[in-house]
Amino acid sequence: MLDALSKSFFHALARSTSIESLASKYGMSSPSSFGRRFIAGETVEEAMTAARVIQDQGMLLTLDQLGESITNQAEADAAADGCLNLIDHVVAAGIDRNVSVKLTQLGLDVGTGVCTDNLRRILTLARQHDVFVRVDIENTPYIQKTFDVFATLWGEGFRNTGTALQSAVLRSEDDARSMCANRIRVRLVKGAYKEPPALAHQAKADVDAAYVRIMKTLLVDGVYPAFATHDPGMIDATKAFAAEKGIGKDKYEFQMLYGIRRDLQASLVRDGYRMRVYVPFGKQWFPYFMRRLGERPANVGFVLRGIFGER
C-alpha cells in the first residue's frame, strides 16, 4: 500500500507542469543546484562539458539523452533525431563513443516497426563512426519487446550494440545464457522497478544472489560484460571471481550513475579497473528523476545513501 502511494505521489509530481517549471528554473540554475548532482545538464553542450571532466578523471562514459514512454510517432522520430545529433556531437568532441537509449523513447509503445526503424537509423550512423549503442532494459512488460527489436537488428548484422539485464527479474539468468551464446554484450544491473513476485525476486538477498550468479556466467562465457552497481559487496564479489578465474581487468568494466558514489568510482580507477559513468542529460530530467524515485520508495534512500555514503 505504501509502495503504491509513494509511486502515485512521485508520478503526480512528474506530471505537474508547475512543479516542473520551478524545478527547471532552480534545479539546474547553478553548479550547486540539486538537479546537477545527478543530471549533467539540459543541453548537449552541457553534457559534453560534463563528459570531458569525467574523461579527464580517467573514466569511461555513456551518454543518455533523457526521454521515454513516448506514445506518438512524431515524438519518437524526434527523439531518434536527437540521438543522431548526440552522436554527431560525441564524434566532434572526441570523447568516448558510447551512448545509451531506451526503446520506449524510440516509439516502442507506438509500434514495433516504428521503434525498429528509429533504432536502425541510430545504429547505422553509430556504426559509421564506431559508436557503441547500449539498449537499456525497462520494466517487465517491455523486456521481450525490447529483445525482439534488438534481435531483428542483430540479425541484420549490427554488432555495435548491446543490451542489459536485471538480476531482480527471474528470466534474466536464462537470458544471460542466451546473450552469451549469441556473443551479445550485456550490462548487468539489479533493477529498480517494482515487479510482481511471479516475475521478479522480492528480497534483496535473492536479488544479490542472482546478480552474483549472472555475473559469473557473463565473466566466464560473455563478451566484455559491464557490471552496473554501487553496491561494494557486488563489486568485491566481481573482482574476486575475476581474479580467481584469471580474467584480466581489461575484459570487463564497472558502471555507475553520474553523481552517485564518486569516491567509489575514483577508487576503482586508482586500482586499475575500467569504470564507466552513465551520464543522463536533457530537458526531460525532472520527470525522469521523479519516476526513478517513484519506481520504488527505496530509491529515495538509495539517492541519499549515494550522497552521504561518500568518503
Q: Where are the alpha helices (DSSP H) in 94-253?
A: 112-128, 140-155, 172-181, 204-221, 232-244
SS3 283: coil
Sign of the alpha-carbon dihedral angle for 283, 289, 294, 295: positive
Contact 228, 20 (CB under 8 A): no
What does the alpha-carbon distance between residue 249 and residue 246 come to, in Å, rounded to a whole number?
9
Instruction: Give the CA distances from residue 121 to residues 43, 70, 133, in Å, rounded to whole numbers and listed in that order.
Output: 22, 18, 12
With 0-12 / 13-18 / 19 or more C-beta atoms within 10 angstroms meaning exposed / middle / buried, residue 74 is exposed
Catalytic residue among 64, 136, 175, 208: 136
The answer to whether 136 is a known catalytic residue is yes
Q: Using the structure block, give the residue that is written with the C-alpha cell 558514489.
A: 261
Catalytic residue among 36, 97, 187, 274: 187
Please list the active-site residues: 136, 187
